[in-house]
Homo-oligomer: A and B are copies of this chain.
């Protein structure tokens, strides 16, 4: 099972959070707002590609009827596997982060 990169994790969370509205631009904007860091499109789409290839997101073509023209959007949806990966990653971090958790060594 491949791990999630930090940025992958970030973008995956964004996809998850944005639900029906997750496409390139909104994802980028969302991550930018939350992290204070703006990623170039190269990074964004490359990460989304990797997520798709790992089966953590799926892509669907958007309806071609926006407000003022412009290229068709591709929406991203988190998959079951994606949710699972996210949940596992978060679980691990929470476990480690939780101050009450004993370490294996501290029990000696």
- Are A18 and B90 in contact, CB atoms less than 8 angstroms apart? no
A97 to B96, CA, bound (A): 16
25 sample A-B contacts, Cβ–Cβ < 8 Å, listed by A number: A3-B6, A4-B6, A5-B6, A6-B6, A6-B9, A10-B96, A13-B93, A13-B96, A13-B97, A18-B103, A18-B105, A26-B105, A29-B104, A30-B103, A30-B104, A30-B105, A33-B104, A34-B92, A34-B95, A34-B96, A35-B92, A86-B97, A90-B93, A90-B97, A93-B93
Interface residues of A (CB under 8 A from B): 3-6, 9-10, 13-14, 17-19, 21, 26, 29-30, 33-35, 86, 90, 92-93, 95-97, 101, 103-106
